[in-house]
A = this chain, B = another copy of it.
Amino acid sequence: MNTITLAELAASIGAEVVGDSSRSVSGPASLAEAGPDEVSFLAQPRYRSQLDSTRAAAVVVAADLEVEGLREDLVLLRCEDPNAAFTRVIRAFVPAEAEPAVGVHPSAVIEAGAEVDPTASVGPLCHVAAGAKVGPRTRLVSRVSLGPHAEVGADSVLFAGVVLYERVVLGARCIVHAGSVLGSDGYGFEPSPEGWVKVPQCGTVIVEDDVEVGANVTVDRARFGATRICRGVKIDNLVHIAHNVVVGENALLVAQVGVSGSTRVGPWAILGGKVGVAGHLDIGQGARVGGGSDVFTDVPAGTDFLGSPARERMQTLRAQASARKVPKVIEDLRGLRAQNEALIARLETLEAAAGLTNQPSGDPGHGGPA
């Protein structure tokens, strides 16, 4: 790793140095794990106590942090948003990546009729089928399979084991992590007395530019037309996207999300980890669905949904809070019932004393004996 002085680092991240700015650091680390030549950060107050024990040379902290009693030689880098600033710290230390070897590794299989740009890098043991295209500067790291007529644009990276089925299209500047599968058949069957009959899945998958796909993700090809992942979408690991789904620009799908067939996820929507969405629904632009939710209805644009079944977040939180009160409700109800019995007894006593007959039915107050 390269080393950087704290003065340089502070300048590059926009922080004010409190302490010896001439010291050098060699990389970022957490408060608990940092050594004496590393820089750390404090973004969440819950970790405040770790400031007292950290061995870090310097810590990125909030501009207004109280720092009484800290180690004398601990340098502080004060700034408005320590979390965002620390991302800049990390960037400052990103090692220059080894340039991948341009060209086709001798162990890769390129079928006749495939077009690999001369500036592309096709790593060991990849398979590029007939009619497939690999764009300029794109990198197939190793063991990648491109099916017949699959296309990858410029400046994309496909990690080990990625599979693009026949005719799938992936745009420019995309990253697809290891083991992900784009273009497997959608899940469609029709019942018959002998068993399920496969509904042909004749469409494809289109992934636009600037999309990142995590590891072991699956995106199914459309029944017809295309399953579409729009520009700038970021998909985490082990996500499932069914046939004919459209994921709008810059939507985020956190790990283990599942989206059922023909559902549309709006631009800038965020589906939290493990969210499941039923088929043929609309998740509106900028909608947010909390982790673990199961969505069975449309989600209006800009709203915040949560729960199983998912409803507006505040509704769900209120429902959860009131559910916790049910035991108390049952107890109160029992108390009221006992109270009423006592009241009835007292009424009867009064009625007897007044010589009145109890009126058991519907309209007791009217027409009774006066």
> Out of B87, B189, B358, which one reaches A190, CB within 8 Å?
B87
Contacts of A200 in B (CB 8 A): 87, 90-91, 94
> Out of B28, B215, B220, B340, which one reaches A181, CB within 8 Å?
B215
Interface string of A214-227 (1 = CB under 8 A from B): 11101010011100
Beta-carbon contact of B125 and A109 below 8 Å:
yes
CA distance A33 to B225 in the complex (A): 8
A210 at the interface (CB under 8 A from B): yes
> Out of B143, B309, B363, B364, which one reaches A127, CB within 8 Å?
B143
> Out of B98, B237, B353, which one reaches A220, CB within 8 Å?
B237
A159 at the interface (CB under 8 A from B): yes
A104 at the interface (CB under 8 A from B): no
> Out of B195, B278, B351, which one reaches A210, CB within 8 Å?
B195
A84 at the interface (CB under 8 A from B): yes
State the majority secondary structure of interface residues on A.
Answer: loop
A151 at the interface (CB under 8 A from B): no
Quick one: given A159-B163, A218-B214, A329-B326, are A196 and B250 in contact (CB under 8 Å)?
yes
Contacts of A161 in B (CB 8 A): 143, 145, 161, 163, 179, 181
Chain A contact-residue range equals 35 or more
A365 at the interface (CB under 8 A from B): yes
> Out of B240, B333, B345, which one reaches A255, CB within 8 Å?
B240
When C-beta atoms are compared, the residue in chain B nearest to A344 turns out to be B343
A337 at the interface (CB under 8 A from B): yes
Beta-carbon contact of A127 and B145 below 8 Å:
no
Beta-carbon contact of B337 and A340 below 8 Å:
no
Beta-carbon contact of B280 and A44 below 8 Å:
yes
Beta-carbon contact of B236 and A238 below 8 Å:
no
Interface string of A226-266 (1 = CB under 8 A from B): 00000110101110101010000110101110101000000
Beta-carbon contact of B278 and A276 below 8 Å:
no
Beta-carbon contact of B218 and A215 below 8 Å:
yes
Contacts of A244 in B (CB 8 A): 30
Quick one: given A346-B359, A347-B346, are A95 and B232 in contact (CB under 8 Å)?
no
Q: Which A253-312 residues have a C-beta within 8 angstroms of B?
A: 254-256, 258, 260, 273-274, 276, 278, 280, 291-292, 294, 296, 308-309
> Out of B141, B231, B258, which one reaches A195, CB within 8 Å?
B231
Beta-carbon contact of A242 and B218 below 8 Å:
no
Beta-carbon contact of B177 and A160 below 8 Å:
no
Q: Which A178-211 residues have a C-beta within 8 angstroms of B?
A: 178-179, 181, 184-185, 187-190, 194-196, 198-200, 202, 210
Nearest first, the 3 closest Cβ-Cβ pairs linking A and B are A345-B365, A292-B294, A195-B232
Supply 5 A–B pairs (Cβ within 8 Å), ascending by A: A147-B160, A216-B216, A325-B330, A340-B340, A347-B350
